[in-house]
């Protein structure tokens, strides 16, 4: 254990205030508030708190006495509390999801949310801990501020790879800033997170240096933030689109499977079939440039809570009919039952592809399942949380990220939650996907900010890989997204309708598509090297 030669003082109250301010700002930059321009200052209060947290342990403490950097334990605590507040403010929807659909009592659902926040906030705490280890007692802890950006990215990488929940990575907030977000095609979203931390660290440095140097640094930091944010005001050129898809928004409620009577099931199938064939006069939404095209090259049905099983003759017949009537390929979310002739059954959350001749030609099985939503990890420990899985299904994981082939066109199909994993989605493009298709059921989130947060993360996948993205959701947002991450056309939420969406195919690959999370790993190496080099100094202080 490392001990310091100076006596440890208490955390100053101003540090707690700064931590609270930082947490609030981090909440506001993501939907629903979506004040993403605040991202340029959101982490600066936390950095200042970490580097000016501790009172010297003197008998006569006054405000004029210089505050010192937090000890590692204090820094971890400060950043950890910030993380707890941030997760509670952005992922509050976990409570209603577990309570309404998971069968948990209000108390149990609230307990799950608290445990979730306590767990994921460990990564914020880790960031604070590393920053404190890199800090010194210089005028503004230059090393800590210079290394804060790569440390933040390294921690985001750990959250993605170790915990498997990279929800709302910092760079996601800038997806609407098109000139800046293009960095993601080279570095992935992590490059944007790095850029945001650079500005925040510069702002923190400006506020920590001696007064005579403060003005110039402050002007430079604020100027950089304004210039980088100004990109959101720039209009990028439109992408030409020469393909059309009918995206069916089913708007199917999440009800118990026992409530699906034969009549209700048949009526739902008929309505979705009618929506899938706009040439028959069914109501649909069209993009301004969709023209009078009578046939869509692709018809898509979303992931939904309906009991649409791949081996159900009624369901198969409906999709085959749609394919033949429209002369289109049909892609639909369903459940695949596979028993291998053994006791018990294996379930997959799947997307099935049907040819224009009505033949079922291929399917994609969801690889990255939602913990506690589609399976329960460590069932012996978390058996109490099995309610939501019973509502949705206890699924097994697929194994392939190969595109589905529709007459020579590679469809990069991923389902719902998978869209938040940058490296996993880019593998579809690397393997030949010419357009991305995300099937999702965001109905579990209700009207909380989760559906909008999910939408932003999905859009970033289009930017990273320079691909059009067709988003087909059960309750919305159903949309067509261009390679700049812009929503070109969308359907209103909570409506049973169809969107005539334009898109184009691409065979080119970005640097990020080819090389993946190289930048994030580089940041991790830099962070570890800096800690290793700092180790002799820490030993001398022991």
Catalytic residues: 303, 366, 416
> What is the bridge-based pairing of β-strands 243-249 and 497-503?
antiparallel
The SS3 of residue 469 is strand
How far apart, in whole angstroms, are the C-alpha atoms of residue 331 and residue 246?
10
Q: Which long-range contacts (CB under 8 A, 24 or more apart) does 24-31 make?
A: 24/85, 24/89, 26/82, 26/86, 26/89, 26/90, 27/85, 27/86, 27/89, 27/90, 29/173, 30/90, 30/168, 30/172, 30/173, 30/449, 30/453, 30/456, 31/449, 31/452, 31/453, 31/455, 31/456
Angle at 175 between CA 172 and CA 176, to 5 degrees: 140
The token pair at 78 is 């400060």
Q: Which of 49, 55, 208, 56 is nearest to 124 (CA)?
A: 49
**Residues whose CB falls within 8 Å of the CB of residue 161, separated by 6 or more in sequence, listed in order:** none
SS3 assignment, position 215: helix
> How far apart are the C-alpha atoms of 263 and 269, rounded to whole Å?
10
Burial class (CB in 10 A: 0-12, 13-18, 19+), 80: buried
How would you classify the pairing of strands 285-286 and 497-503? parallel
> CA-to-CA distance for 349 and 54, rounded, in angstroms?
52
**Coil/strand/helix, residue 193:** helix
CA 409 – CA 400 distance, rounded (Å): 17
Q: CA of 195: how far to CAs of 42, 131, 216, 320, 468, in Å?
A: 13, 17, 20, 49, 25
Distance, first Cα to last Cα, the chain? 8
Q: How far apart are CA 329 and CA 196, in angstroms?
A: 42
For 405, the enclosing helix (H) or strand (E) is: strand 404-406
Helix ranges restricted to H, 136-252:
142-158, 178-181, 184-187, 189-208, 211-229
The structure tokens listed for 311 are: 């081996």
Phi, psi values for residue 478, rounded to 5°: -95, 125
């Amino acid at each position: 254990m490392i001990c310091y030669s100076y006596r440890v003082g208490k955390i100053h109250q101003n540090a707690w205030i700064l931590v609270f301010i930082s947490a609030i700002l981090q909440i506001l930059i993501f939907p629903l508030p979506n004040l993403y321009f605040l991202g340029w200052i959101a982490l600066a209060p936390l950095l200042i708190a970490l580097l000016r947290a501790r009172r010297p342990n003197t008998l006569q403490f006054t405000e004029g006495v210089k505050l010192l950097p937090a000890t590692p334990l204090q820094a971890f605590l400060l950043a950890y509390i910030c993380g707890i507040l941030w997760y509670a403010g952005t992922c509050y929807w976990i409570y209603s999801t577990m309570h309404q659909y998971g069968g948990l009592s209000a108390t149990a659902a609230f307990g799950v949310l608290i445990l979730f926040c306590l767990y994921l906030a460990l990564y914020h705490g880790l960031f604070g801990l590393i920053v404190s280890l890199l800090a010194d007692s210089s005028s503004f802890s230059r090393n800590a501020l210079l290394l804060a950006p790569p440390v933040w990215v390294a921690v985001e990488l750990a959250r993605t790879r170790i915990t498997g929940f990279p929800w709302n990575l910092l760079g996601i907030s800038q997806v609407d800033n098109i000139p800046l977000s293009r960095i993601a095609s080279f570095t992935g979203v992590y490059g944007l997170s790095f850029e945001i931390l650079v500005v925040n660290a510069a702002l923190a440095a400006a506020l920590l240096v001696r007064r005579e140097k403060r003005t110039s640094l402050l002007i430079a930091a604020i100027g950089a933030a304004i210039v980088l944010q100004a990109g959101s005001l720039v209009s990028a050129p439109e992408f030409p689109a020469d393909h059309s898809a009918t995206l069916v928004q089913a708007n199917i409620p999440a009800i118990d499977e026992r409530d699906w009577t034969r009549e209700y099931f048949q009526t739902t199938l008929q309505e979705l079939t009618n929506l899938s064939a706009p040439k028959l006069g069914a109501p649909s939404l069209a993009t301004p440039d969709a023209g009078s095209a009578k046939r869509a090259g692709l018809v898509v049905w979303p992931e939904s809570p309906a009991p649409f099983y791949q081996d159900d003759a009624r369901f198969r017949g409906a999709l085959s009919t749609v394919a033949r009537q429209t002369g289109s390929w049909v892609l639909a979310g369903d459940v695949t039952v596979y028993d291998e002739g053994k006791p018990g059954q294996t379930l997959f959350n799947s997307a099935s592809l049907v040819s224009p001749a009505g033949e079922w030609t291929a399917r994609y099985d969801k690889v990255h399942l939602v913990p506690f939503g589609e399976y329960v990890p460590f069932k012996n420990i978390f058996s109490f949380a099995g309610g939501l899985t019973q509502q949705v299904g206890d699924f097994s994981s697929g194994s392939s990220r190969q595109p589905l082939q529709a007459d020579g066109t590679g469809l990069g199909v991923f389902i719902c939650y998978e869209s938040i994993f940058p490296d996993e989605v880019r593998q579809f493009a690397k393997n030949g996907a010419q357009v991305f298709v995300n099937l999702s059921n965001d109905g579990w989130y209700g009207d909380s900010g989760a559906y909008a947060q999910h939408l932003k993360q999905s859009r970033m996948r289009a930017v990273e890989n320079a691909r059009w993205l067709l988003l087909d959701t059960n309750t919305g947002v159903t949309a067509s997204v261009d390679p700049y991450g812009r929503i070109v056309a969308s359907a209103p939420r909570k409506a049973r309708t169809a969107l005539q969406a334009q898109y184009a195919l691409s065979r080119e690959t970005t640097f990020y598509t080819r090389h993946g999370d190289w930048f994030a790993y580089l940041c991790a190496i830099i962070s570890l090297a800096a800690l290793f080099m700092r180790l002799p100094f820490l030993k001398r202080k022991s």
